[in-house]
Amino acid sequence: MRPEPPNGSAGVPEIFGGGIYGAIRRAVVIGNGFPGAENQCLGLVRALGLSGRHSLYRVLRPRGGINEWLHWLPVSVHKKLDHFIRQIFGGSGLKVEGKKGMPLLGKKNGLLHVLEADAKQIAKVARETFDQYGPLLVIASGRDTISIASSIKRFAPENVFVVQIQHPRSRLDRFDLVIAPRHDYYSLNPQARQQIPWLVRRWITPCEPPGKNVVLTVGALHQADFAALRSAASAWHEELASLPKPLLVVNIGGPSSNCRYGVDLAKQLATMLQNVLWSCGSVRISFSRRTPKKVSKLLMEEFNTHPKVYIWDGEGPNPHLGHLAWADAFVITADSETRLRDWSGSMHVEVCRLPKVPG
């Protein structure tokens, strides 16, 4: 069993300590379809004890064809342009999986699961069910969710509490609470002058220190709390507990604007891993869905037959939480913004040593 969290760490946040918001018993998550953003919302839902009492909405962009070149546009503009192109050239236009859903009244919390977020409908349900179910907590993350979340607050200001995760870049007063990783708050980031041109800096983020409605975190929110790790330690005990120690887990991500993945960098990583294999009892390598095929192929060819190394091929249950619970050390590629502070253009890796999980 993993150790218990420090006393008081599981308490109710101060923002929910009084007034109408002390009665929050339900939540909706506004996602963008990307696990990296939605998992942060779900991590907050879990920490607040609202798991099982939330609904997931998604902001959907048009897909396919020329739409892949228009992803930089605000989603509302993108949809209008897609509709215009469809009217002129024909075609299927907006391509999404499933069907559009509309918010409906539910027996427990007043909302049922829907696929596509509609600010007016969500706000309407929040108003109509307020007397019965209390205020609605709205948690959103990702650029495409900003306008939806702020619109919900505008349509139902007395019936919702809106939390925007990740820095919305401007007009933070549109939200009741903004949760931003410290590296996203450029006014406090020493790399800001290098990352943002001086002429546009004031339009991207406020220059003053964060206000009362801004919470800065060291890293991104997540779902890997003590209860989740205890459960994962049990679920993966049979597969991971008996592996020779120390167990090194290697998490390989994918390309970003600051981290280009190529064969040369994959070879560099392979060489670095070869140099530490002697000190490992066993190694487990996992690829992201974003990992380029040329990178995963090279590493699989390099290590697939090595007796110490196991490579997860994406089939079956994702071992990520099991790895977090049982690994002695990690190697993580630096495509995440949180690990780019000393990025120098090469495949930088970080090793983080964690206490072992007793059986």
The one-letter amino acid code at 3 reads P
Same domain, 236 and 182: no
Looking at residue 151, which CATH number applies to its domain?
Answer: 3.40.50.2300
Q: Which residue has better confidence, 232 or 24?
A: 232
The one-letter amino acid code at 293 reads K
* pLDDT band at residue 343 under the 50/70/90 scheme: very low
Same domain, 237 and 308: yes
Neighbours of 354 (CB within 10 A): 13
Same domain, 197 and 51: yes
Q: What is the distance between the alpha carbons of residues 312 and 62, in angstroms, rounded to a whole number?
A: 32
pTM above 0.85, yes or no: no
With tokens 């993350």, the residue in question is: 141
* pLDDT band at residue 19 under the 50/70/90 scheme: low
Residue 125, in any domain of the structure: yes
Number of separate domains in the chain: 2
Mean per-residue pLDDT, 110-133: 82
Q: Exposure string (b/e) for 201-214, b if CB count within 10 Å is 16 or more?
A: eeeebbeeebeebb
Same domain, 260 and 334: yes
DSSP 8-state symbol, 287 = E
Same domain, 311 and 343: yes
Q: Please provide the distance, in angstroms rounded to a whole number, between the alpha carbons at the two ends of the chain.
A: 7
Residue 41, in any domain of the structure: yes
Q: What is the distance between the alpha carbons of residues 335 and 252, in angstroms, rounded to a whole number?
A: 9
Same domain, 207 and 250: no
Choice among 93-102, 240-249, 288-297 with the minimum mean pLDDT: 93-102
Strands 329-333 and 349-351: antiparallel
Encode pLDDT of 74-112 as tens digits: 777 777 777 777 777 765 444 444 434 333 333 344 444
Encode pLDDT of 163-176 as tens digits: 999 888 778 889 99
- Domain final position from 159, 187, 217: 217
Mean per-residue pLDDT, 240-260: 86
Same domain, 157 and 305: no
Q: Which residue has better confidence, 356 or 312?
A: 312
> Phi/psi at 27 (nearest 5 deg)?
-150, 155
10 Å CB burial of residue 197 (0-12, 13-18, 19+) is exposed
Which pLDDT value is given to residue 100?
40
Per the structure, the complete domain to which residue 346 belongs is given by 226-352
Looking at residue 251, which CATH number applies to its domain?
Answer: 3.40.50.2000
